[in-house]
């Protein structure tokens, strides 16, 4: 896994120059069938990462947000989200990210989260989690009343389950409405204590798993089950097992 990690770090270090080149420039925006936006930056970046992975690991399968699945069989699958937070990207918000994860037999084994505009790269695996080569760890907060809580995609939660959204907004020591992957990284670094997320795809949440778990945190679906390719897109990240259990109770009503 260390060899795989070294390779994907080198590939993504080169790839992040692509979104940085297009950031805050005038771009044509296409809306896909699910109404999510895509730009030439997303497509060019994913193609570069896919081609490089295929060159290094011709027997590995690859799944990307923009170009789908290249199934080579076997037990190893790379998943790529070239620009997580395209709406952030096209509106000039620098908190978009680049996400990559390697699954072995469906289990996330190593993850990379790059923040091109911040100059930060997070890595995670069985040996722990790091940010720019320095070890990171979650906080020791165990109760929701003491927690700094991020609520991702709150607009969708409010429309679909307004009672739950109200409960979330009244929970925790502090709350912050947010989007995309970075709040989960704030939990991994110990700056925040939990993040509730909603309506995600596997390429949005699976790359986060090795980083959060490597930092000592917990990341599951809203029922507490491990995240897989079949998960329903509702995700909760917490700094500790105790806090995680309390949040699951809240989410269950």
CATH code at position 84:
3.30.540.10
- Sign of torsion over alpha carbons 239, 241, 242, 248: positive
Q: Is residue 47 domain-shared with residue 155, that is, in the same domain?
A: no
For 226-232, what is the mean pLDDT? 97
Q: Is residue 155 domain-shared with residue 124, that is, in the same domain?
A: no
Local confidence band at 34 (pLDDT 50, 70, 90 cut-offs): low
For residue 241, pLDDT over 60 is answered with yes
How many structural domains are present in the chain?
A: 2
pTM of the predicted structure, to 2 decimals: 0.95
Amino acid 39: pLDDT:
86
Local confidence band at 37 (pLDDT 50, 70, 90 cut-offs): confident
């Amino acid at each position: 896994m260390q060899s795989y990690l070294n390779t994907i770090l080198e590939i993504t270090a080169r790839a992040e120059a692509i979104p940085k080149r297009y950031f805050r420039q005038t771009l044509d925006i296409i809306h896909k069938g699910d109404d999510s936006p895509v730009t030439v930056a997303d497509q060019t970046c994913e193609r570069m990462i896919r081609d490089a992975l295929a060159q290094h690991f011709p027997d590995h399968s690859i799944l990307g947000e923009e170009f789908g699945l290249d199934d080579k069989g076997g037990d190893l699958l790379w998943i790529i989200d070239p620009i997580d937070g395209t709406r952030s990207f096209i509106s000039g918000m620098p908190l978009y990210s680049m996400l990559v994860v390697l699954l072995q037999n469906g289990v996330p084994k190593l993850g990379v989260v790059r923040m091109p505009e911040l100059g930060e790269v997070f890595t995670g695996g069985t040996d722990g989690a790091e940010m720019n080569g320095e070890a990171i760890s979650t906080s020791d907060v165990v109760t929701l009343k003491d927690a700094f809580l991020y609520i991702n995609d709150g607009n969708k939660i409010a429309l679909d389950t307004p009672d739950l959204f109200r409960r979330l907004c009244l929970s925790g020591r502090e709350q912050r409405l947010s989007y995309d992957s970075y709040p989960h990284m704030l939990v991994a670094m110990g700056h925040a204590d939990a993040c509730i997320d909603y309506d995600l795809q596997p390429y949005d949440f699976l790359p986060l798993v090795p980083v959060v778990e490597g930092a000592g945190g917990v990341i599951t679906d809203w029922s507490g089950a491990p995240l897989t390719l079949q998960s329903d897109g509702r995700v909760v990240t917490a700094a500790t097992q105790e806090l995680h259990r309390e949040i699951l109770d809240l989410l269950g009503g």
